[in-house]
Structure 1
């Protein structure tokens, strides 16, 4: 076909109605971006977007520092090309959403949340902890992980007779026992008890933390403190702590309420001291015995 006028073989095969500068694309009006208003020729950097009289307005500042507002939308040029300005993305909101989505993927212990596997039937392995508060803290941070593994946490009423309790449990390779002990530091009564108890069986592991009470394993910053208060000898540690915090502290009910407030500040493993984290994680690894077909 003779193309004497230069239209090509099919004039309708191209976008013959497209503007000379090209079609406008949407661009977020981010601060600092330099654009030109087509109607007035005003050229300036975006300094803000706000809602005025039910309409969004973009404010441009020219090189002399003068500012002028224009309706947000079409009618602007960016580097000579037409654009439709849209409200800038709230990057903090985007980052916050990404953080929330990542948090939803993980348990409080930081492990990837398992969603396609039901909790295992409880195995014979156990983790023993000293007292209700220890158990509640372990449940809050590691509960999801322990349910997936089928490991049960049980409370001890002190460790004075620990060796005898271990003999009664009779741990084996497939039914292991992990024990978390409070205030486990050299030279203490607890250390001597643990050394004796560890001789009972190779399938028991006893670890601890150096704190007087598991309360201290919560980072003091979560309570607005630089450090946990020092309580003098002879004074009830928990009652003393509550008094130093300015909370009710006279009765056991006050202690229970105080612990609930402290526990409520714990959102994840990052709110706990590394010493406790290391001990609990090691105990979980020790007692987590894979089923025979997984070995």
Structure 2
């Protein structure tokens, strides 16, 4: 028998909102959500009890923090959610999963229970502290297993002279990571001269003005890194464009710490930096 009136329009969950019913989600630190009422979008910083209620604090891409009542009224990837207090059990599960992970931050197979190897004679040089801290965070486990030490240069203006003083050998190799290594720059001319010093030194780089740019901007809620005009301090300019404190070197240090904290693994870095660092590690660890 044909149904001349079609299907029952009231069948099923017809009262469901257009975006679907809100699902409970634990407010874990780093979770990025949007408050429906105000449009405020940010990452969960912490959950605390205030004034007899649970409050979730969200930090936006400019570093500003705002508190909201924990519960309904949030969007996660465009879908409604009800934020709940992170449970101790959930945190324990996350920690257990982290410890059981078989990969380091660089994506290498993790070696458990092995003490760091005594440092070899080979070295990797980077231009500054921020470069060294980023390499340590992502490749530190690998480098300790291999016994390779990362050292900071005070700029690369006399790179050829520094390589001569180091005097690399087949068993004592040297890898150098250079910022802003693109054709036509001062750095490219310096590297061209330094490459002639020794076959046991390898010099590679990345195209970014500063190693900050090697962190994918999406980790900071950006589409692209801000453009800073020539003649202006790049780091101070970036912090200013982001709306972060930028007046002093202490502000720069705090800004970098925030950027570095956003890096979880190699997947948060641009491929050009990854390729250069991986090749340098391979070069200095060849038997």
Task: Please list every run of at least 4 consecutive aligned residues from structure 1 whose deviation after the TM superposition is greater than 4 angstroms.
Answer: none
1:102 is displaced (CA, Å) by 8.7
Match of 1:273?
Answer: 270
| Matched ranges for 1:1-295 at <5 A | 100=97, 104-290=101-287
Tell me the secondary structure at the aligned position of residue 126 of structure 2: strand
Structure 2 portions without partners, runs of 5+: 1-89
* Partners of 1:128 and 1:252 in 2: CA distance: 23
1:153 is displaced (CA, Å) by 0.1
- Seen in structure 2, the aligned counterparts of structure 1 residues 201 and 211 have a Cα distance that, compared at 3 Å, is same
* Partners of 1:123 and 1:211 in 2: CA distance: 30
The total of aligned residue pairs comes to: 196
Match of 2:9?
Answer: none
What TM-score comes out, normalization by structure 2 length? Answer: 0.66
* Partners of 1:272 and 1:217 in 2: CA distance: 6
Cα deviations across residues 139-192 of structure 1 (Å, max 9, x unaligned)? Answer: 000000000000000000000000000000000000000000000000001001
Tell me the secondary structure at the aligned position of residue 136 of structure 1: helix
| Structure of higher CA gyration radius | 1
What TM-score comes out, normalization by structure 1 length? Answer: 0.64
* Partners of 1:139 and 1:200 in 2: CA distance: 28
* Partners of 2:101 and 2:224 in 1: CA distance: 31
Tell me the secondary structure at the aligned position of residue 179 of structure 1: strand
Structure 1 portions without partners, runs of 5+: 1-92, 291-295
Instruction: Report the aligned-residue RMSD.
Output: 1.8
* Partners of 2:190 and 2:242 in 1: CA distance: 33
